[in-house]
Structure 1
Amino acid sequence: MNGPSNDLNQQIRQVFKNYDIDDFIKKTSALALTWEQIREMSADPLVEIGAHTINHHALSKLTDFAVQKEMEGSRDKIESEINQKVEHFSYPFGTRKEVGQREFRIAKKCGFKTSTTTTIANIFKEHKDLLEQLPRIPVNQKRDNGKINYLNLWLNGTLPCIINKFKKIL
């Protein structure tokens, strides 16, 4: 992809090179799933693979065209690798500072059924009209000390309610 994203990637590579961290792509790639692993997971009916952008930039910093290319490029690449339709999207930086009405509109234009922000909250019936800006429930083994009770508190909605002081977040 050409344009601002490509320029930014070059700048990032230069910064890492200046600090003798020129193998950062190799190091970060070791943390990612392989396409073989992703294909195996996507074969499970309980797993849904969604798009997440190509370059993981804050979308609010990109042009409309670049945002759409990031979303569609990610979806198209994943679909070609897993041979399944990708219908859901997760914003790479999904706070209200990084995504807003423009990004929600573009996600809808790209044809995603749902898109997830990083807003921590429960889902309510009113979200049926806000499918491009759904909140999420974070799952983090390190934070939860690997204890299932903590996970249950997240999944049953207790912790999001406490975090949001029992206010409905839309």
Structure 2
Amino acid sequence: MDIMDIEEMQRRLRSLTDRAEITDLMNRYVRSLDDGVFDEEWARAFHTEDVTAEMPIGTVRGRDALTARVRRGMALFDRTVHLGTDYVIEVDGDRATVRGAQLSTHVLADGSESGSGNVFISAGHAENTLVRTVDGWRISASALRVVWTQGTPPRLPDDFAAASPARAGA
């Protein structure tokens, strides 16, 4: 094997490793939305400190603001199942873009003991920018583009008024 072959193998290995790490991060992130624990540790595991996130419930900047918004938004639901798939990943050095489909099923919090709230489904695409940090890949910008919804959307608190109730859902 000559030096060119070794360098090419190293480049390919790095590319495959980056893609595997990014896919794992995105899968863990989508799954974490159903776990309901949105604290500082959760935020550090997925986002840069200066993250910008555009969601149906508003756009926020900064990890603390994102954590607070996700916590409040997800509190609108008793239970959820989020699925992310079909990631298209483009890596350019220490930056990457990831676009994938997202299907989110939500059981609205209705205050009843039976938890028999209405079901609200949203589907669309998540567009993310990631950066390589000393702790691994992290999301530095994200945008959830809802394409369609079905069912009754949650009633948003007044301070979420900037977001369209017809497009609500994380």
Decide: shared fold, TM above 0.5. Answer: no
TM-score (normalizing by structure 1): 0.23
1 or 2, which has the higher strand percentage? 2
Q: Structure 1 or 2: larger helix share?
A: 1
TM-score scaled to structure 2, two decimals?
0.23
